[in-house]
């Protein structure tokens, strides 16, 4: 029979063993507490680690990277929040450190930071950037991109834009295929490439995703190879950039298309024919023939992405209408070959009408091209935000 004293001793020993085990496990599994609070002039993020804190900070246009040196993956304890500046957090491993991504709702921001003791806390204060200063602590673009590239493959597991890792931008035409021609000699292929290059730059500066261009200079690439480039790179989104043309000189505005067996209207059907048969552009339309290969590819590759493609087209078109203040021609559907073989949500953006002299002049200005890029980027960002909420 066990005496009361010995029984108490055994119970006390078991409790101490449990407590020591708990402490040991806590030490093996460090944690990181995140909290957000808005003040009148700034939003504050507090990072409280359970381990000695060693960190580096890099700033992008609308996100911050906090590189935290630690070998063991910490548990994240994040309070719910609704901030006017802070949008979301992302988390990824990068060698012997982890990277905390803090995304903001504003295009650019300034920040201050300081460290408190007992307990250790890293405090980050975010505010809207002064136009002249452009924010503090900006790393070089090459260095920033290098650090982002090393983290991209795994960040999607826990980031707000889960599933969006690679975006392929397709500047239409190129090389021996100039595309549509304007009254003043503007070539579709040149404007599409300029917009594609700008869009790649803006996306990479603002979103931690990989961006691939189907062409980066004036070369000819078949429609089939453009889709193959997207599929080879395991693209999650595909955006083809084109400039519209019409026999009606007063036609104007932007249009965004996603793939369909049937065209929305006769004008969309005609446009798809011209884009699918660039060598015959000058010869006009002959008949209403349907490309069976396109339809087969549509069934195989695009049918699974119809809703996503429609949503992407809608968000981009909304921003084009808002920023460019052009006629709302809406989103449309047509059997474009360049979209048919792509195994991901895919859209084709007709930026403006090169056949309209007024819009042709705009297409040759940097401010108009920059506005187009901004509109497409905002539409893309809106799509990713809605995608993450599904």
Of 21-35, 50-64, 85-99, the range with the highest mean pLDDT is 50-64
Burial (CB count <10 Å: 0-12, 13-18, 19+), residue 361: middle
pLDDT at 38: 94
Query: Once rounded to an integer, what is the mean pLDDT over residues 94-118?
Result: 83
Q: What is the pLDDT of residues 28-63, one digit of tens each?
A: 568 888 999 999 899 999 999 888 888 888 887 778
- Give the chain's domain count: 2
Are both 279 and 304 inside the same structural domain?
A: yes
Query: Quick one: tokens of 369?
Result: 């091209």
pLDDT at 279: 47
Q: Which of 145, 178, 196 is the last residue of a domain?
A: 145
Strand locations in the chain (E): 31-38, 43-49, 55-59, 63-69, 75-78, 86-93, 97-104, 109-116, 121-128, 166-171, 210-213, 237-244, 254-259, 328-334, 346-353
Whether 379 is in a domain gets the answer: yes
Query: Once rounded to an integer, what is the mean pLDDT over residues 165-189?
Result: 93
Alpha carbons 288 and 291: distance in angstroms, whole number:
10
Are both 59 and 127 inside the same structural domain?
A: yes
Are both 95 and 194 inside the same structural domain?
A: no
Whether 215 is in a domain gets the answer: yes
Q: Which domain holds residue 313?
A: 160-389
Q: What is the pLDDT of residues 251-266, one digit of tens each?
A: 888 889 888 554 444 4
- Contact indicator for 238, 345 with CB cutoff of 8 Å: yes
Are both 84 and 122 inside the same structural domain?
A: yes
Alpha carbons 168 and 213: distance in angstroms, whole number:
6
Query: Once rounded to an integer, what is the mean pLDDT over residues 153-172?
Result: 65
Q: Which of 96, 115, 145 is the last residue of a domain?
A: 145
Q: Which of 88, 113, 145 is the last residue of a domain?
A: 145
Phi-psi region of 60 (alpha: psi -120 to 50; beta: other; left: phi over 0): beta
Whether 329 is in a domain gets the answer: yes
- Contact indicator for 147, 58 with CB cutoff of 8 Å: yes
Predicted confidence (pLDDT) at residue 348 exceeds the cutoff of 80: yes
Are both 141 and 247 inside the same structural domain?
A: no
Predicted confidence (pLDDT) at residue 17 exceeds the cutoff of 60: no
The domain that holds 166 is classified in CATH as: 3.40.630.40
pLDDT at 89: 81
Predicted confidence (pLDDT) at residue 385 exceeds the cutoff of 60: yes
Are both 354 and 288 inside the same structural domain?
A: yes
Whether 240 is in a domain gets the answer: yes
Cα 230 to Cα 175, 240, 349, distances in angstroms? 20, 11, 17
pLDDT at 80: 79
Are both 126 and 188 inside the same structural domain?
A: no
Which 3 state secondary structure label does DSSP give 352?
A: strand
Are both 221 and 288 inside the same structural domain?
A: yes
Alpha carbons 383 and 158: distance in angstroms, whole number:
18
Are both 355 and 214 inside the same structural domain?
A: yes
The domain that holds 46 is classified in CATH as: 2.60.40.3500
Are both 84 and 137 inside the same structural domain?
A: yes
Q: What is the pLDDT of residues 312-346, one digit of tens each?
A: 999 999 999 887 776 666 776 756 777 777 888 99
Whether 17 is in a domain gets the answer: no
Are both 165 and 91 inside the same structural domain?
A: no
Query: Quick one: tokens of 378?
Result: 């905002």
Whether 8 is in a domain gets the answer: no
Cα 149 to Cα 153, 165, 204, 207, 372, distances in angstroms? 8, 10, 10, 11, 26
Query: Once rounded to an integer, what is the mean pLDDT over residues 121-145?
Result: 63
pLDDT at 187: 96
Query: Quick one: tokens of 179?
Result: 């595309």
Whether 268 is in a domain gets the answer: yes
Are both 370 and 285 inside the same structural domain?
A: yes
Alpha carbons 250 and 362: distance in angstroms, whole number:
14
Nearest to 91 by CA among 31, 167, 37: 31
- If one counts every other C-beta atom within 10 angstroms of the C-beta of residue 145, the result is 16
Predicted confidence (pLDDT) at residue 267 exceeds the cutoff of 70: no
- If one counts every other C-beta atom within 10 angstroms of the C-beta of residue 143, the result is 10
pLDDT at 238: 95
Alpha carbons 257 and 305: distance in angstroms, whole number:
14
Whether 136 is in a domain gets the answer: yes
């Amino acid at each position: 029979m066990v005496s009361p004293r010995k029984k108490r001793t055994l119970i006390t020993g078991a409790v101490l063993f449990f407590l020591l085990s708990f402490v040991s496990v806590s030490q093996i599994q460090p944690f990181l507490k995140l909290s957000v609070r808005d003040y009148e002039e700034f939003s504050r993020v507090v990072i409280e680690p359970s381990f000695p804190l060693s960190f580096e900070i890099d700033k992008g246009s609308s996100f911050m990277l906090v590189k935290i040196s630690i070998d063991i993956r910490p548990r994240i304890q994040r309070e719910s929040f609704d901030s006017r500046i802070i949008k979301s957090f992302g988390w990824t491993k990068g060698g012997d450190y982890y990277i905390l991504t803090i995304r903001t709702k504003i295009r650019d921001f300034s920040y201050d930071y300081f460290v408190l003791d007992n307990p250790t806390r890293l405090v980050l204060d975010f505010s809207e950037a002064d136009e002249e200063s452009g924010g503090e602590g900006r790393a070089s673009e090459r260095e920033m991109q290098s650090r982002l590239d090393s983290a991209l493959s795994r960040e999607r597991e826990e980031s707000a834009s889960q599933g969006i890792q690679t975006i392929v931008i397709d500047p239409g035409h190129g090389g021996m295929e100039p595309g549509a021609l304007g009254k003043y000699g503007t070539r579709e292929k040149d404007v599409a490439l300029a917009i594609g290059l700008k869009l790649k730059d803006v996306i990479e500066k603002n979103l931690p995703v990989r961006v691939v261009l189907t062409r980066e200079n004036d070369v000819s690439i078949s429609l089939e190879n453009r889709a193959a480039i997207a599929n080879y790179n395991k693209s999650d989104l595909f955006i083809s950039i084109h400039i519209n043309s019409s026999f009606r000189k007063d036609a104007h505005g932007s249009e965004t298309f996603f793939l369909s067996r049937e065209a929305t209207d006769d004008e969309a059907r005609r446009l798809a024919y011209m884009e699918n048969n660039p060598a015959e552009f000058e010869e006009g339309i002959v008949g209403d023939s349907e490309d069976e290969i396109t339809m087969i590819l549509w069934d195989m590759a695009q049918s699974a992405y119809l809703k996503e493609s429609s949503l992407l087209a809608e968000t981009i078109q909304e921003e084009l209408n808002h920023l460019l203040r052009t006629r709302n021609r809406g989103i449309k559907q047509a059997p474009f070959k360049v979209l048919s073989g792509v195994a991901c949500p895919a859209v084709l953006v007709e930026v403006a009408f090169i056949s309209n002299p007024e819009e042709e002049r705009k297409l040759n200005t940097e401010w108009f091209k920059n506005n187009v890029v901004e509109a497409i980027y905002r539409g893309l960002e809106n799509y990713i935000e809605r995608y993450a909420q599904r």
